[in-house]
Structure 1
Amino acid sequence: MKLVPALIASALIGGGAGVYAYAQNQNAPAARERSANALERLRDWVMERGGTERAFDNEYWNHHEPGIYVEARTGEALFASTNKYDSGSGWPSFTRPINPDAIVLREDYAMGMRRIEVRSREGDHHLGHVFDDGPRGTGGQRFCINSCAIRFIPRDQMEAQGYGRYVAIVDGG
């Protein structure tokens, strides 16, 4: 008889873990609306201290509109929507930057393993990391970038915001 309550408890605990795990997958709800103050605190933590946003709970992980992504503070053009893909990681992922000279790559051992950190050249801010598990047909790299470290410029606003020279890249040229 004592076995039945133990089995029920085990099923409930296991079921709860499954619910939590589900909330971490790609079907999780879109990023919560954040106040400007909360976003700036998160941005400081990520860009100045090398932090990382939560997977699947950030603005651009599932964003598919044509345009470019610029450094959130300096406005430096970094990535084009034509090089963005769904890596399944829960963060915006790109196969390459618009201009390799716009980023700086540094070795990072902060998590007890060797990673390659991606920083903006102009602002010297932490953006994310680059891994060698990207699509083989495009060079095999995955630039895994924190949403709060970038800002999206829609294709139809690029010219007006001074990014007209990148329109051909976004248009696939």
Structure 2
Amino acid sequence: MEKIVKSEQEWQELLSNEEFQVCRQKGTERAFTGEYNDEKTAGTYKCRCCGLALFTSETKYDSGSGWPSFYQPSKEDVVAVNRDISHGMVREEVVCARCDAHLGHVFPDGPAPTGQRYCINSLSLKLDPK
């Protein structure tokens, strides 16, 4: 997959202040405030920054965490996972494989069949309804 690389200024011009803070500066939206937390519309969730298809509504579920949660990405190679040791804890950060946008974190407490919970910020996603 070919990487998309832009300067911080280019990203700032393309994104709202809130989107930039989450996607490019590794921020987190407050729990239960995101646009897609309770979303039930069928479709594909794409990267807000580059449009890559990341997750589908078929793998979305209500984890009770306050963020949109998915048990697997749409394809294996669309997200990358990095070790995150910020905020005094060790977590697995999820980023877009094409543009490195911060999406959220993945935890090993999700449902079958994967056992994974991809806990994703709504600000890093754009729903493309079916």
TM range (shorter): 0.7 to 0.9
Residue 24 of structure 2 is aligned with which of 48, 51, 59?
48
Q: For 2:23 and 2:65, locate their aligned partners in 1 and report how far apart those are by CA, in whole Å.
A: 20
Residue 115 of structure 2 is aligned with which of 128, 133, 140?
140
Higher normalized strand content (fraction of residues): 2
Partner of 2:129: 154
Q: For 2:113 and 2:35, locate their aligned partners in 1 and report how far apart those are by CA, in whole Å.
A: 25
Ranges in structure 1 where 5+ consecutive residues have no aligned partner: 1-36, 156-173
Instruction: Compute the TM-score of the two structures, normalised by the length of structure 1.
Output: 0.66
- Partner amino acid, structure 2, of 1:83: T
Instruction: Compute the TM-score of the two structures, normalised by the length of structure 2.
Output: 0.87
CA deviation map 1:103-160 (0-9, x unaligned)? 110000011111000000111110000001111x2211000000010000000xxxxx
Partner of 1:72: 48
Secondary structure at the residue paired with 2:80?
strand
Q: For 2:95 and 2:30, locate their aligned partners in 1 and report how far apart those are by CA, in whole Å.
A: 19
CA deviation map 1:46-100 (0-9, x unaligned)? 1111100011111000001100100001000000000000000110000000012
Higher normalized helix content (fraction of residues): 1
Ranges in structure 2 where 5+ consecutive residues have no aligned partner: 1-12
Q: Which has the higher contact order (CA 8 A, sep 6+)?
A: 2
Partner of 1:17: none
- Structure number with greater Rg is 1
